[in-house]
């Protein structure tokens, strides 16, 4: 697609000639300021009036105004869109004596442009022609084609596959607030592409964490709520969704019940019993969806309460643990990408939401482990089943598109294949030895798929079908006798035309005579220019009526051809109408099974996730964790799931497994707190994170990277690793660190897991040490949670003498010829030093700086603080330093290198030389 060189098709209707010219002083358009200035003179053209009218009722949206084969944008919209899309800004006509800025995108490529605009945070109103321009012309040559906005495209209301990420849900969330004293909130979030709908109510304190879990791409709020959440900083850090402020009426809790009843009928009873604020949030979401879809009915499912028993993971922890994305916003390198062995898009989506929301109910977690266990224990069944699952299409999104009138025959075939695959999967699953309850439930759902619907679809549709119903030719021969008749007529007519051409050649004696077709003339007879006169003279001019003379050819019409033409046109129009009717009937039949098909889609996604987790456990040698309601946290040979794979892929040394035991000892009730010291780069952060990740993996239902794991259900995980500043909210690095530490100390419970890395490092040493000290004491004495605390403040290790559940651990290193070798092993005890200077040396700090640092360190270690400055001042500065002695070089090696003239080397000689040099170097090392 060539964005910059869009060639405009001639618009097909009312605006061929400078259509916007002479327009007048209208109009209530908020964005098009140019249009609001009045000269009090001319009247708008009818089309201008229509444009402004539509524009005025869709404020805040870029208006895609359909003109023939293009969507055109005018005024400010054109300027914004042309900049955003990198397409040419031109002008069309004048308004109030000024050129009207305009840009356009071809209809066939509109999806790509929409995607770009939505990603940039814009909202688009799609305005279509609601009648054939020919119809409009019948009302008079100046009449305007009827147009209307058929859809408002926003980030949270997308349904097309190419606008969506197949492996992530796209949630639209609505937030309602009640302020009786403290503010309370309810969130309803829905993915309209899959019909899923959930709700939850939260306090102001929990709001940011819930939004961080849901990650809505669009959040609808009233103006009052927007003000409140912004003033109180309640949006999660790095909130990437669009905030869509809506009139407060759509949150009206009085009207909510009616909205719910009309959407869910009798099924609404359960939701009507929910609190006022929850009803308001759900109704607001539904109203907004109806408004954006302009009457098309989204197959929304009955809203479900988002699990009550979910592990709480706040926004900062999600970022620090890189659950779905890395800190750089990439999916590669995050936990999800590493764990994702799913073979279907719906499976990947479910995996994402499970990672985002691990469970807190030991029985439910164990049930998931049981299901995964069936697949781990049957590797052959797992691989056969997954090969079959791979061919399952993403039917739930297709179903929504069909419901909204955006789907075609291919969506229908996809539904058929899913039903067929489901039946085959039942066969595969029955090969499992004694499938547990959860898998048994899946088997039952797969068994009860609407196979009759698959037969209907197969009987009706060809195996190869076009994307859109209007393209026609998708109904199978033999399905509808009338359709077959019209098709035969069209085919026969073509044969008749071939015969006609032969007859005309005979009758005229012109062998080169041809019957041809184009869109302007329809069927016509064409002869080379040299024969034109013959047909235009008596007697042939009685049969051949002249239509067109071209440079090389002359074209004619005949009565027979005209008759045939109308027969063929009629036949193909009739065939198309029948096909569209059949499509509509089949669509209704499919939609009548919506609930069953959604259930099937859910079961297929669950089967994919469960077997994928089985596959992951087999491939990565994970173990099944034991989960109960104790305060245990005992991990044997734990590994970091992501770092382990990265090291594997890089072909580097393999990951060193480490134990972690935070379980209460003896008579204790509370878990333990490990203080971890050790060198920089020793693996402290990795160890901390791996344990938090193991907890999350276990509670989302996965096996874990360890040889054994026993975890008492963790209600909240907190992880703070390092600190970053939050300039957007006006907080410095240290301030962020303290706000987050405060959140942990205030919110962690005895059932939480807290992972803190280098708390207090962002300020002066003694302040930092004191804060870290007090934080450890508070976690131990007040919270009593299980915790891992990494620090470079070695003084903290003294706490283990006073606090009975605190113990000291260290990352082992070995020193070798002045360098440090990291063993990545966690051992009991305390590190004697941080090896910061050795790490700096490894990082490539200039030698003279490293040496100077070592000297300063020696002084610092020997003296009391007060003497430090004086002591350091006595040291010679860099300028006075002796030059660093050069390492003794190997003479033979050097001699050989000196002899080399690279210009004379062929590639072959160069490689031989490399071998020779390597040998020389090895000899030197052995000496
Ligand atoms: N158990 C392990 N096995 C193998 N390699 C490891 C292991 N742990 C860490 N590493 C490697 O060591 C590197 C440094 O680890 P990490 O960042 O955890 O160190 P650190 O002690 O937290 O350092 P700092 O104190 O400087 O933040 C990691 O990037 C990883 O490649």
267-276, 399-408, 561-570, 600-609: which has the highest mean pLDDT? 600-609
- 430 and 563 in a single domain? The answer is no
CA 689 to ligand 1: nearest atom = 18
- 871 and 906 in a single domain? The answer is no
Best of 643, 690, 843 to mutate for ligand 1, by most ligand atoms within 8 A of CB? 643
Q: Are 578 and 476 in contact (CB under 8 A)?
A: no
* pLDDT band at 31; cut points 50, 70, 90: very low
Distance (Å) from CA 224 to ligand 1 centroid: 47
Which has the higher per-residue pLDDT, 26 or 505? Answer: 505
* pLDDT band at 663; cut points 50, 70, 90: very high
Cβ-count burial 713-735 (b if 16+ within 10 Å, e if not): bbbbbbbbbebeebeeeebebbe
Alpha-carbon distances of 658 from 254, 358, 692, 812, 828, rounded to whole Å: 58, 24, 14, 11, 12
| Chain Cα centroid distance, residue 333 | 15
State whether residue 1 is helix, strand or coil. Answer: coil
Best of 326, 654, 682, 791 to mutate for ligand 1, by most ligand atoms within 8 A of CB? 682
Q: Which of 895, 893, 903, 898 shows the shortest CA–CA distance to 923?
A: 893
Look at the chain and report how many structural domains it folds into.
7
Distance (Å) from CA 556 to ligand 1 centroid: 83
What is the strand order of the sheet 553-557 is part of? 514-518, 522-528, 553-557, 545-549
- 555 and 436 in a single domain? The answer is no
| Torsion sign over Cα 407, 408, 409, 414 | negative
H-helix or E-strand spanning residue 71:
strand 70-74
Could you give the CA distance from residue 820 to residue 816 in angstroms, rounded to a whole number? 6
CB atoms inside a 10 Å sphere around CB 816: 8
Specify the residue with its C-alpha closest to ligand 1, atom 15: 683
Beta bridge partners of 719: 755
pLDDT of residue 765: 64
pLDDT of residue 821: 79
Q: Are 539 and 515 in contact (CB under 8 A)?
A: no
Alpha-carbon distances of 220 from 61, 169, 189, 801, rounded to whole Å: 15, 17, 10, 53
- Residue 315 belongs to a domain: no
Residues whose CB falls within 8 Å of the CB of residue 8, separated by 6 or more in sequence, listed in order: 70, 104
State whether residue 252 is helix, strand or coil. Answer: coil
Q: 104 CB less than 6 Å from ligand 1?
A: no
What is the strand order of the sheet 753-757 is part of? 312-313, 716-721, 753-757, 786-790, 673-677, 806-816, 819-828
User: Could you tell me the CATH number of the domain that includes residue 600?
Assistant: 1.10.1420.10
Residues whose CB falls within 8 Å of the CB of residue 532, separated by 6 or more in sequence, listed in order: 549, 553, 554
- Residue 620 belongs to a domain: no
Specify the residue with its C-alpha closest to ligand 1, atom 4: 655
Q: Are 214 and 190 in contact (CB under 8 A)?
A: no
- Residue 564 belongs to a domain: yes
Q: 824 CB less than 6 Å from ligand 1?
A: yes
List helix spans (H) across 39-164: 46-56, 75-85, 110-119, 133-138
Could you give the CA distance from residue 381 to residue 677 in angstroms, rounded to a whole number? 46
- 268 and 347 in a single domain? The answer is no
Residues whose CB falls within 8 Å of the CB of residue 762, separated by 6 or more in sequence, listed in order: 723, 732, 733, 734, 737, 768
Output the CA torsion 626→628→631→635 (10° steps). Answer: 10
Q: 684 CB less than 6 Å from ligand 1?
A: yes
Could you give the CA distance from residue 726 to residue 135 in angstroms, rounded to a whole number? 59
- Residue 545 belongs to a domain: yes
* pLDDT band at 877; cut points 50, 70, 90: very low
Q: 656 CB less than 6 Å from ligand 1?
A: yes
Strand 70-74 to 633-638 pairing:
unpaired
pLDDT of residue 365: 97
CA 653 to ligand 1: nearest atom = 4
Distance (Å) from CA 683 to ligand 1 centroid: 3
Q: What angle do CA 794, 782, 322 make, to 5 degrees?
A: 65
Distance (Å) from CA 831 to ligand 1 centroid: 15
Q: 682 CB less than 6 Å from ligand 1?
A: yes
Which has the higher per-residue pLDDT, 346 or 162? Answer: 346
Distance (Å) from CA 827 to ligand 1 centroid: 15
- 674 and 819 in a single domain? The answer is yes
- 64 and 202 in a single domain? The answer is no
pLDDT of residue 44: 67
Question: Which of 91-105, 160-174, 374-388, 885-899 bottoms out in mean pLDDT, i.e. has the lowest?
Answer: 885-899
Could you give the CA distance from residue 375 to residue 394 in angstroms, rounded to a whole number? 23
Residues whose CB falls within 8 Å of the CB of residue 925, separated by 6 or more in sequence, listed in order: none
- 818 and 920 in a single domain? The answer is no
* pLDDT band at 889; cut points 50, 70, 90: low
- 302 and 353 in a single domain? The answer is no
Residues whose CB falls within 8 Å of the CB of residue 593, separated by 6 or more in sequence, listed in order: 450, 453
Q: 681 CB less than 6 Å from ligand 1?
A: yes
Phi, psi of 164 (to 5 degrees): -115, 155
Give the chain's mean pLDDT.
Answer: 84
Q: 705 CB less than 6 Å from ligand 1?
A: no
- 255 and 399 in a single domain? The answer is no
- 571 and 653 in a single domain? The answer is no
- Chain segment 472-517, per-residue pLDDT in tens: 889 999 999 999 988 888 778 778 888 889 999 998 999 999 999 8
Could you give the CA distance from residue 449 to residue 445 in angstroms, rounded to a whole number? 7
Could you give the CA distance from residue 615 to residue 561 in angstroms, rounded to a whole number? 66
- Residue 37 belongs to a domain: yes
Could you give the CA distance from residue 771 to residue 763 in angstroms, rounded to a whole number? 10
Q: Per the structure block, which two tokens stand in for 887? A: 């390492």
pLDDT of residue 829: 84
- Residue 679 belongs to a domain: yes
Note down the domain range covering 407: 341-450+596-614
For helices 594-620 and 641-650, the axis angle rounded to 10 degrees is 60
Q: 674 CB less than 6 Å from ligand 1?
A: no
Beta bridge partners of 676: 790, 809
Distance (Å) from CA 841 to ligand 1 centroid: 17
Q: 638 CB less than 6 Å from ligand 1?
A: no
Which has the higher per-residue pLDDT, 818 or 684? Answer: 684
pLDDT of residue 927: 59
What distance, in Å, lies between the first and last C-alpha atoms of the chain?
A: 66
Alpha-carbon distances of 601 from 447, 586, 594, 754, 842, rounded to whole Å: 13, 19, 10, 37, 53
Distance (Å) from CA 680 to ligand 1 centroid: 8
User: Could you tell me the CATH number of the domain that includes residue 704?
Assistant: 3.40.50.300
Give 233's DSSP letter: T
Tell me the percentage of the chain whose pLDDT exceeds 90: 46
Structure-token match 């109910």, residue found = 361
Distance (Å) from CA 925 to ligand 1 centroid: 29
- 745 and 718 in a single domain? The answer is yes
- Residue 460 belongs to a domain: no
Specify the residue with its C-alpha closest to ligand 1, atom 23: 681
Distance (Å) from CA 182 to ligand 1 centroid: 44
Q: Per the structure block, which two tokens stand in for 769? A: 């040490």
- Chain segment 68-78, per-residue pLDDT in tens: 889 999 999 99
State whether residue 219 is helix, strand or coil. Answer: strand
- Residue 684 belongs to a domain: yes
CA 811 to ligand 1: nearest atom = 21
| Torsion sign over Cα 862, 864, 867, 873 | positive
- 109 and 28 in a single domain? The answer is yes
Could you give the CA distance from residue 496 to residue 480 in angstroms, rounded to a whole number? 24
* pLDDT band at 4; cut points 50, 70, 90: very low
Q: Which of 20, 3, 2 shows the shortest CA–CA distance to 11?
A: 20
Specify the residue with its C-alpha closest to ligand 1, atom 8: 683
Q: Are 459 and 478 in contact (CB under 8 A)?
A: no
* pLDDT band at 926; cut points 50, 70, 90: low
Q: 680 CB less than 6 Å from ligand 1?
A: yes
Which has the higher per-residue pLDDT, 96 or 556? Answer: 556
- Chain segment 260-313, per-residue pLDDT in tens: 998 998 888 888 989 989 999 999 999 999 999 988 888 999 999 987 789 999
Phi, psi of 747 (to 5 degrees): -110, -20
| CA neighbours closer than 13 Å in the CB half-sphere of residue 892 | 11
- The annotation places the binding site for ATP at 678-685
List helix spans (H) across 516-638: 532-536, 559-591, 594-620
Q: 655 CB less than 6 Å from ligand 1?
A: yes
pLDDT of residue 730: 53
Domain boundary among the residues 153, 173, 205 is at: 153
Instruction: Evaluate if residue 249 carries a pLDDT over 50.
Output: yes
Q: Are 811 and 844 in contact (CB under 8 A)?
A: no
Could you give the CA distance from residue 313 to residue 700 in angstroms, rounded to a whole number? 12
pLDDT of residue 818: 67
Distance (Å) from CA 316 to ligand 1 centroid: 21
């Amino acid at each position: 697609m060539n964005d910059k060189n869009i060639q405009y098709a001639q618009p097909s209707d009312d605006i061929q000639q400078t259509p916007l010219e002479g327009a007048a002083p209208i109009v209530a358009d908020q964005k098009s300021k140019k249009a609001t200035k009045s000269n009090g003179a001319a009247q708008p053209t009818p089309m201008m009036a229509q444009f402004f009218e539509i524009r005025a009722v869709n404020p805040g949206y870029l208006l895609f105004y359909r003109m023939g084969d293009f969507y055109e944008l005018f005024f400010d919209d054109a300027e914004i869109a042309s900049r955003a899309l990198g397409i040419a800004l031109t002008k069309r006509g004048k308004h109030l004596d000024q050129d009207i800025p305009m840009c356009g995108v071809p209809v066939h490529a509109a999806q790509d442009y929409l995607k770009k605009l939505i990603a940039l945070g814009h909202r688009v109103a799609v305005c279509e022609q609601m009648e054939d321009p020919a119809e409009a012309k019948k009302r008079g040559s100046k009449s305007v084609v009827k147009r209307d906005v058929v859809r408002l495209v926003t980030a949270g209301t997308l349904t097309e596959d190419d606008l969506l990420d197949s492996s992530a849900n796209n949630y639209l969330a609505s937030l309602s607030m009640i302020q009786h004293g403290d503010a309370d909130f309810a969130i309803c979030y829905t993915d309209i592409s899959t019909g899923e709908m959930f709700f939850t109510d939260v306090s102001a304190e929990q709001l940011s964490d819930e939004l961080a879990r849901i990650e809505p791409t669009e959040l609808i709020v009233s103006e009052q709520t927007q003000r409140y959440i912004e003033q109180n900083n309640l949006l999660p850090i790095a909130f990437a969704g669009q905030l869509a402020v809506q009139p407060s009426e759509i949150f009206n809790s009085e009207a909510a019940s009616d909205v719910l009843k009309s959407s869910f009928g009798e099924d609404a009873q359960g939701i009507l019993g929910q609190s006022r604020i929850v009803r308001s949030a759900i109704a607001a979401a539904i109203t907004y969806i109806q408004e954006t879809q302009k009457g098309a009915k989204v197959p929304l499912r009955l809203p479900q309460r988002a699990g009550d028993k979910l592990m709480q993971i706040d926004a900062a922890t999600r970022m620090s643990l890189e659950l779905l994305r890395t800190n750089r916003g990439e999916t590669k390198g995050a936990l999800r990408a590493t764990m994702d062995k799913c073979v279907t898009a719906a499976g990947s989506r479910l995996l994402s939401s499970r990672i985002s929301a691990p469970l807190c109910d030991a029985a439910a977690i164990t049930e998931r482990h049981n299901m995964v266990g069936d697949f781990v224990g049957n590797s052959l069944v797992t691989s056969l089943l997954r090969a079959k699952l791979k061919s399952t299409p993403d039917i739930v999104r297709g179903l929504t598109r069909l419901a909204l009138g955006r789907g075609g025959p291919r969506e229908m075939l996809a539904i058929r294949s899913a039903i067929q695959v489901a039946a085959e999967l039942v066969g595969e699953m029955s090969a499992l030895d004694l499938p547990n309850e959860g898998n048994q439930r899946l088997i039952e759902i797969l068994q009860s798929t609407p196979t009759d619907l698959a037969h209907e679809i197969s009987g009706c549709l060809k195996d190869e079908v076009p994307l859109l119903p209007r393209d026609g030719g998708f109904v199978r021969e033999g399905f509808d006798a009338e359709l077959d008749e019209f098709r035969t007529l069209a085919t026969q007519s073509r044969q008749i035309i071939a015969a006609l051409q032969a007859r005309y050649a005979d009758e005229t004696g012109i062998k080169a005579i041809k019957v041809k077709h184009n869109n302007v003339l329809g069927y016509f007879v064409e002869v080379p220019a040299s024969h034109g006169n013959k047909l235009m003279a008596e007697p042939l001019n009685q049969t051949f009526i002249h239509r067109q003379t071209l440079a090389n050819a002359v074209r004619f019409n005949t009565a027979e051809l005209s008759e045939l033409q109308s027969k063929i046109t009629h036949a193909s129009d009739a065939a198309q109408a029948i096909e569209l009717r059949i499509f509509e009937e089949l669509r209704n039949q499919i939609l009548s099974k919506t609930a069953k098909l959604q259930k099937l889609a859910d079961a297929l996604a669950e089967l994919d996730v469960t077997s994928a987790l089985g596959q992951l456990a087999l491939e990565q040698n994970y173990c099944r964790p034991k989960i109960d309601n104790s305060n245990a946290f005992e991990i044997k040979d734990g590994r970091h799931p992501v770092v382990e794979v990265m090291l594997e892929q890089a072909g580097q040394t393999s990951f060193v497994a480490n134990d972690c035991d935070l379980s209460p000892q003896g008579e204790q009730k509370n878990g333990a707190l490990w203080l971890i010291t050790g060198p920089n780069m020793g693996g402290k952060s990795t160890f901390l994170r791996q344990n938090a990740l193991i907890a999350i993996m276990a509670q989302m239902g996965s096996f874990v990277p360890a040889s054994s794991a026993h975890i008492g259900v963790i209600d909240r995980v907190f992880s703070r690793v390092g600190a970053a500043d939050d300039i957007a909210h006006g907080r410095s690095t240290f301030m962020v660190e303290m706000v987050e530490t405060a959140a942990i100390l205030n919110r962690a419970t005895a059932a939480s897991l807290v992972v803190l890395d280098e708390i207090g490092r962002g300020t002066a040493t003694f302040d930092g040490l004191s804060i870290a000290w007090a934080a450890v004491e508070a976690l131990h004495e007040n919270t009593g949670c299980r915790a891992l605390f990494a620090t470079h403040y070695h003084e903290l290790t003294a706490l283990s003498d006073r606090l009975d559940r605190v113990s000291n651990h260290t990352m082992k290193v070995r020193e070798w010829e002045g360098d440090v070798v990291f063993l990545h092993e966690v051992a009991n005890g305390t590190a004697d030093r941080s090896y910061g200077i050795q790490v700096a040396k490894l990082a490539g700090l200039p030698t003279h700086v490293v040496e100077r640092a070592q000297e300063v360190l020696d002084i610092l270690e020997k003296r009391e603080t007060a003497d430090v400055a004086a002591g350091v001042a006595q040291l010679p500065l860099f300028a006075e330093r002796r030059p660093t002695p050069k390492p003794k070089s190997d003479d033979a090696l050097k001699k050989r290198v000196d002899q080399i003239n690279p210009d004379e080397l062929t590639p072959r000689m160069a490689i031989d030389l490399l071998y020779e040099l390597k040998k020389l170097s090895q000899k030197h090392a052995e000496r």
